[in-house]
C-alpha cells in the first residue's frame, strides 16, 4: 500500500512543471563547467568563441545525437568568474551569465548588449517533456527553422518538428517532411542562433497563445542546445554549418533543368520527352524515373515490360546529353523470393518490434519491411544493392517516402532502431530516418562510382541533411499561393544550412494554368534546384504543353539559367565553403530593415548575391517591389532605382521582376543545350557601377569527379573598387585550365569610353544587349503584343582570358 501510494504521488507530480532548480555543486572543465541541482545534471561547453553548448538532463549521462553535429569543442580561451550568486563565462564574443539560484541563463555580446535570456521559468520538465522558456526582446523577430510554412518572421506561431508525409499540404500547414530545429533571433541589439540537438518530436513556440515567453521543447530526451552568436546573420549561419556540416560540390549537371513526372513510362515515352527537349531547343540535363519504372513498385527492379532494356535506354539518353535519376523508396516488399527482403531478414537489417518480429507497413508495393538505416551494416548493404542501378548507368538517386511514410500515417512508436548501437524507439529515430536513408544513397553512389560526385535528392531530413543530399519541398499544389510559399520554404531552408533546395515547378498536385506555369518557370530559373514535376492522371506539364507562348517564355528562362551557370556554379562553390545559401532571404543582409518582413515583400530574395528576385503571381500585371538600401538596376533595361524605396514594377508574364545590386558582378556563358554541351569559349562578365564595390569569386572545375579536391580547379577573385575606379583580376589559382579562352566585360551604368590596362588605353565598343529573347507575336492583334527590353549601346571590352593578374583602371 505504501509503495503504491508513493508511486501514485510520483506520477501526479511528474505531470506538473518541475524546474531545474538551484545549483548545488559545480566544477570547471577543459571546455567550460558542469554541475548538479537537486533535479538534474548540467554541462556548459565552449565549442568556439561564438558557440556555447547547453546540456541539462535528469540523468547522470547525457544523451547524444550521433548524426547532426560533426565537430567537437575547439581549444578556445575563456574565463570563468563566480560573483554574487552568478557564474560568468566569457569568450571573445559571448558573455554567459548563469544564476546559481535558479539556473537561468543570459547571453550577452562583448559590448554587454543582451542577446537572449531565460524567462524566470528557465529550463524545466513536465514528465519526460523538457522545455527552455525564453524572454522576448523588444521587437524581436524569429527566422529560419527549415522547411516551415508561414511568414518569414515566425513570431506568433508554433511549429512542430516531426517528419510527416503530407500530400497537397496547405500553405500554412505544419509539420511537413523535414525537421531542422535551428532558428535565428533578430532584434535591435543583435542576432543569435539556437540549434536544439534533440531528435525527438520538438515544438518551437514563438508566442502562439501566450504573451509571456517563447519556448522550445522536446517530448523526451535531454535539453541540449547550441547558442550561436556572431556579429552578422550570415556569420551565424556559417557557424551553424561549421557544426552540422556543409554540402559537397554537386556535379554540374545537377544545376541544370530537370524534368520529372509521376511517371514517364514506357521507355518510348522517356525517349520522346528527351528528344522533344532537343528538337525544341529547350536546354535540359536530367530525366527522372518515378515508381512506374519498377516491377510492382519494388525497389531495385525494373519493369521488364515497360523497360525491357534499361541499360540501352540510359545509354541512348546519355548520347543526347541527359542524365537519369531514379526514385528509391525505403519500403521492401515482404515477399519471399524477393532478394532484398530475403537478405534483409537473413542479415538482420530491418526495423523490428521489441519482441524481434519484423515491423511491416503498407506502401506502394503492399506490405513492406523497412531497412534500419541507423545501422551501419544496413547502410553498407544498401550501398551494395545500388549496383543494380549504377550498372545500368543511372546517375543520381531520389529518396522519397523516407519520413518514413506508410498508409495510415501512424507508425507505432514502440518499433526499434539500432541507432548506432544505442537502440532507440520510433519516437527518437523517426526524424533522422530520412537523413540516414539519404546518407546511405550518397555512400552507395560513391561506393559504386568512386570517381564521380554523387547526386541525391531527398524529401525528408534533419539538421545536417545538407551533407548528404539536395532537398525539395514535397507534394506541393499548382496554385499561385503555393508558388510563393515554395519560395519562402527554400529561403527558410537556406537560413537553416540547406543551400541546395527547390520545389516542384508547376505544382505536383492539380493543374497549372498557362500563366501560372510560365511564371513558375521564370521563378524556378532562380532557384538552386530547378525541376518541373507533376503527378499521375494530370495533364502533360512539360514546357511545351501549355501552348506556344508559354513554351517560348519557358525556353527563354531556361536558356537564361544555363547562361548564368558560371555564376551559379561559382556560388555553389562558395556555399560549400561558407554554408551560406544560394537563394538568400533579405533577412540575411538586411535583418534590421522592417520592410523586408512585411507580407508584401517577404518573398523577395537575393540569388547568387547579385540578383534581387521579386516573385509575383502570374495574375498581376503590375506589382510593388521593395528595394533595400543601395542602388539597383532593373536587369532587363538597366533602369536605375534608389534603395529604401517601394517601386511599382510592370510584370508582364515574360518579365519577372529581377534587379541587380549596384556594384555587383556576375558572369555568363553562351547558350548551350545541356551542361556537357560545347560553349563558344567566351566568358561574359557583367559589372554594375555603384558607390560600393564587391568581390566575386569565379570558380570552375571539370564539373564532375574529385580532382577539384586536389587542386584541379580554376579560381580567381574579381574585385570592383569604385573608389579607385578599378576592376582587378587576381592571379588564378589551381591546375584546371578553365573553360574560356576570352572574356567579354560589359560595363553597366558607366560613362567611360576607354579604360587602361597596364598603362595601355583600350577603347570600349558597344552593342545592344538583351538577357531574354523576343517573343514571337503569335496573336497579330496589337493589344496582345509583348514588351521586349534591350539595353542599347552597352559598352564592353573583349580580352584574352589569361591566368595572370591584371587590373582595369579609369572606370568612371
Helices (H), 15-155: none
Q: Could you give the CA distance from residue 548 to residue 540 in angstroms, rounded to a whole number?
A: 14
Question: Within its chain, how far is the Cα of 568 from the centroid?
Answer: 14
Cell of 787: 514588351
Contact 192, 116 (CB under 8 A): yes
**Is the Cα dihedral 429, 432, 437, 443 positive or negative?**
negative
**Cell numbers 530559373: residue:** 525
4-29 burial, b at 16+ Cβ within 10 Å, e below that, comes to: eeeeeeeeeeeeeebbbbebeebeee
Phi, psi of 322 (to 5 degrees): -100, 145
Q: CA 379 to CA 347: how far, in whole Å? A: 12
CA distance 630 to 282: 36
β 258-259/286-289 pair status: parallel
d(CA 406, CA 568): 37
State the DSSP code for 237.
H
- Residue showing cell 542524365: 323
* Cα–Cα distance, 455 to 427 (Å, whole number): 29
- Cβ 52 vs Cβ 89: under 8 Å: yes
Q: What does the block give as the cell for 187?
A: 532584434
Pairwise CA distance, residues 186 & 237, whole Å? 13
Q: CA 400 from chain center: how many Å?
A: 17
Which grid coordinates belong to 91?
569568450
Helix axes 233-244, 565-578, angle to 10 degrees: 70
Cα separation of 217 and 203, whole Å? 5
Cβ atoms of 608 and 565 within 8 Å: the answer is no
Whether residue 73 has a cis bond before it, omega within 30° of 0 = no
Paired strand residues for 751: none
The answer to whether 194 and 401 have CB atoms below 8 angstroms apart is no
> What phi and psi values does residue 462 have, to the nearest 5 degrees?
-145, 180
Q: In the beta sheet, which residues pair with residue 396?
A: 325
How long a stretch of residues is the chain?
A: 812
Which residues are catalytically annotated? 400, 403, 475
User: Which residues lie below 8 Å from residue 401, measured CB to CB, with a gap of 6+?
Assistant: 165, 329, 330, 331, 363, 364, 459
Burial 548-581 (b: 16+ CB within 10 A, else e): ebbbbbbbbbbbbbbbbbbbbbbbbbbbbebbbb
3-state secondary structure 244-280: HCCCCCCCHHHHCCEECCCCCCCHHHHHHHHHHHHHC
Amino acid at each position: 500500500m505504501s509503495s503504491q501510494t508513493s508511486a501514485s504521488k510520483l506520477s501526479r507530480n511528474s505531470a506538473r512543471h518541475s524546474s531545474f532548480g538551484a545549483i548545488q555543486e559545480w566544477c570547471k572543465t577543459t571546455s567550460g563547467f558542469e554541475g548538479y541541482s537537486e533535479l538534474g545534471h548540467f554541462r556548459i561547453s565552449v565549442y568556439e568563441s561564438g558557440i556555447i553548448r547547453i546540456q541539462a538532463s535528469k540523468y547522470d549521462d547525457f544523451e547524444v545525437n550521433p548524426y547532426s553535429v560533426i565537430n567537437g569543442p575547439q581549444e578556445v580561451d575563456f574565463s570563468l568568474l563566480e560573483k554574487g550568486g552568478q557564474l560568468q563565462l566569457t569568450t571573445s564574443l559571448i558573455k554567459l551569465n548563469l544564476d546559481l539560484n535558479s539556473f537561468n541563463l543570459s547571453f550577452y555580446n562583448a559590448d554587454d548588449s543582451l542577446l537572449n535570456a531565460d524567462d524566470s521559468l528557465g529550463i524545466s520538465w513536465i514528465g519526460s517533456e523538457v522545455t527552455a522558456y525564453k524572454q522576448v526582446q523588444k521587437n524581436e523577430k524569429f527566422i529560419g527553422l527549415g522547411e516551415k510554412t508561414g511568414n518569414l518572421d515566425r513570431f506568433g506561431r508554433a511549429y512542430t518538428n516531426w517528419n510527416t508525409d503530407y500530400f497537397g499540404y496547405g500553405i500554412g500547414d505544419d509539420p511537413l517532411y523535414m525537421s531542422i530545429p535551428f532558428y535565428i533571433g533578430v532584434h535591435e541589439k543583435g542576432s543569435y542562433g539556437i540549434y536544439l540537438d534533440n531528435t525527438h518530436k520538438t515544438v518551437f513556440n514563438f508566442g502562439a497563445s501566450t504573451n509571456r515567453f517563447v519556448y522550445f521543447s522536446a517530448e523526451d530526451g535531454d535539453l541540449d542546445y547550441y547558442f550561436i552568436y556572431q556579429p552578422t546573420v550570415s556569420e551565424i549561419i556559417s557557424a551553424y554549418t561549421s557544426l552540422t556540416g556543409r554540402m559537397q560540390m554537386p556535379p554540374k549537371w545537377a544545376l541544370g533543368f530537370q524534368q520529372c513526372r509521376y511517371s514517364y513510362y514506357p521507355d518510348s515515352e522517356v525517349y520522346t520527352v528527351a528528344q522533344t527537349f532537343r528538337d525544341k531547343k529547350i536546354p535540359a540535363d536530367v530525366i527522372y524515373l518515378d515508381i512506374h519504372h519498377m516491377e510492382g513498385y519494388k525497389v531495385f527492379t525494373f519493369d521488364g515490360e515497360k523497360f525491357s532494356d534499361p541499360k540501352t535506354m540510359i545509354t541512348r539518353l546519355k548520347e543526347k546529353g541527359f542524365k537519369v535519376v531514379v526514385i528509391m523508396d525505403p519500403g521492401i516488399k515482404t515477399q519471399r523470393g524477393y532478394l532484398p527482403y530475403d537478405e534483409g531478414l537473413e542479415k538482420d537489417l530491418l526495423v523490428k518490434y521489441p519482441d524481434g518480429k519484423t515491423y511491416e507497413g503498407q506502401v506502394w508495393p503492399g506490405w513492406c519491411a523497412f531497412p534500419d538505416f541507423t545501422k551501419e551494416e544496413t547502410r553498407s548493404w544498401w550501398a551494395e544493392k545500388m549496383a543494380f542501378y549504377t550498372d545500368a548507368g543511372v546517375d543520381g538517386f531520389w529518396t522519397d517516402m523516407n519520413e518514413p511514410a506508410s498508409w495510415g500515417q501512424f507508425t507505432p512508436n514502440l518499433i526499434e532502431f539500432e541507432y548506432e548501437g544505442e537502440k532507440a524507439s520510433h519516437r527518437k529515430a523517426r526524424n533522422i530516418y530520412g537523413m540516414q536513408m539519404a546518407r546511405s544513397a550518397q555512400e552507395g553512389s560513391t561506393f559504386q562510382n568512386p570517381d564521380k560526385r554523387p547526386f541525391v535528392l531527398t524529401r525528408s531530413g534533419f539538421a545536417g541533411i545538407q551533407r548528404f543530399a539536395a532537398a525539395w519541398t514535397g507534394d506541393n499544389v499548382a496554385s499561385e499561393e503555393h508558388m510563393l510559399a515554395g519560395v519562402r520554404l527554400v529561403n527558410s531552408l537556406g537560413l537553416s544550412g540547406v543551400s541546395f533546395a527547390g520545389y516542384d515547378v508547376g505544382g505536383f498536385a492539380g493543374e497549372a494554368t498557362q500563366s501560372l506555369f510560365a511564371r513558375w518557370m521564370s521563378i524556378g530559373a532562380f532557384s538552386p534546384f530547378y525541376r518541373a514535376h507533376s503527378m499521375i492522371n494530370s495533364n502533360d506539364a512539360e514546357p511545351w504543353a501549355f501552348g506556344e507562348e508559354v513554351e517560348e517564355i519557358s525556353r527563354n528562362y531556361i536558356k537564361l539559367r544555363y547562361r548564368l551557370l558560371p555564376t551559379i556554379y561559382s556560388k555553389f562553390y562558395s556555399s560549400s565553403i561558407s554554408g551560406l545559401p544560394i537563394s538568400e532571404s533579405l533577412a540575411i543582409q538586411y535583418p534590421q530593415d522592417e520592410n523586408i518582413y512585411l507580407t508584401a515583400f517577404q518573398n523577395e530574395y537575393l540569388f547568387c548575391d547579385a540578383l534581387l528576385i521579386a516573385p509575383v503571381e502570374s495574375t498581376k500585371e503590375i506589382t510593388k517591389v521593395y528595394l533595400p538600401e543601395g542602388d539597383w538596376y532593373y536587369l532587363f533595361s538597366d533602369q536605375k532605382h534608389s534603395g529604401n524605396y517601394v517601386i511599382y514594377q510592370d510584370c508582364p508574364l515574360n518579365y519577372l521582376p529581377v534587379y541587380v545590386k549596384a556594384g555587383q558582378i556576375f558572369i555568363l556563358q553562351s547558350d548551350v543545350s545541356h551542361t556537357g554541351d560545347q560553349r563558344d569559349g567566351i566568358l561574359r562578365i557583367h559589372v554594375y557601377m555603384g558607390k560600393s564595390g564587391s568581390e566575386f569569386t569565379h570558380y570552375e572545375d571539370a564539373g564532375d569527379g574529385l580532382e577539384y579536391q586536389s587542386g584541379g580547379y580554376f579560381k580567381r577573385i574579381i574585385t570592383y573598387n569604385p573608389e579607385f575606379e578599378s576592376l582587378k583580376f587576381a592571379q588564378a589559382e589551381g591546375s584546371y585550365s578553365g573553360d574560356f579562352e576570352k572574356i567579354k566585360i560589359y560595363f553597366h551604368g558607366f560613362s567611360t569610353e576607354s579604360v587602361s590596362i597596364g598603362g595601355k588605353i583600350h577603347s570600349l565598343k558597344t552593342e545592344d544587349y538583351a538577357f531574354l529573347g523576343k517573343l514571337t507575336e503569335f496573336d497579330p492583334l496589337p493589344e496582345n503584343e509583348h514588351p521586349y527590353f534591350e539595353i542599347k549601346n552597352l559598352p564592353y571590352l573583349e580580352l584574352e582570358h589569361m591566368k595572370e593578374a591584371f587590373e582595369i583602371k579609369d572606370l568612371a
